[in-house]
């Protein structure tokens, strides 16, 4: 049995494309409807530690990582889509600082559109 750890990120992507389960992924981005999109998640104790940086710095880093993925694909960033998983005890001020850091890179964080349940 082969594990994801053995094949790594690029091996997994290659296998998904080989089986026609995904298409057009390169440089951590994909072309969807003529737009280049990316979503690179940062995980505490894997990609960052709060004893080394604060919430604002985390936001700036998250934006930079994703903007870099777009640049690697030759795309100009027009918006950031934020996927955020937080424990319920997270402080509101901390999350506001995170978003302030996201906005430091000059690309607006975009509010999600209507959900599937609210679409006609």
The total of other beta-carbon atoms located within 10 Å of residue 7's CB is 13
Residue with tokens 């998640």: 41
pLDDT digits (tens, 9 = 90+) for 49-106: 999 999 999 999 999 999 998 998 889 999 998 888 899 999 999 999 999 999 999 9
pTM reported for the whole predicted model: 0.75
Q: Which of 53, 36, 73, 60 is nearest to 109 (CA)?
A: 60
Q: What are phi and psi of 91, to 5 degrees?
A: -80, 135
Mean pLDDT of all residues in 101-112: 87
Residues 6+ apart with CB under 8 A from 108: 79, 80
């Amino acid at each position: 049995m082969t594990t994801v750890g053995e094949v790594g990120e690029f091996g997994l992507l290659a296998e998904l494309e080989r089986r026609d389960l995904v298409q057009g992924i390169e440089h951590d981005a994909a072309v969807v409807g003529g737009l280049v999109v990316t979503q690179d998640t940062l995980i505490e104790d894997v990609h960052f530690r709060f004893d080394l940086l604060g919430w604002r710095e985390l936001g700036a880093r998250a934006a930079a990582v994703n903007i870099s993925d777009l640049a690697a694909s030759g795309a100009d960033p027009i918006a950031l889509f934020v996927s955020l998983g937080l424990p319920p005890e997270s402080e509101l001020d901390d999350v506001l600082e995170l978003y302030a850091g996201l906005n430091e890179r000059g690309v607006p964080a975009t509010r999600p559109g209507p959900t599937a349940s609210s679409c006609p």
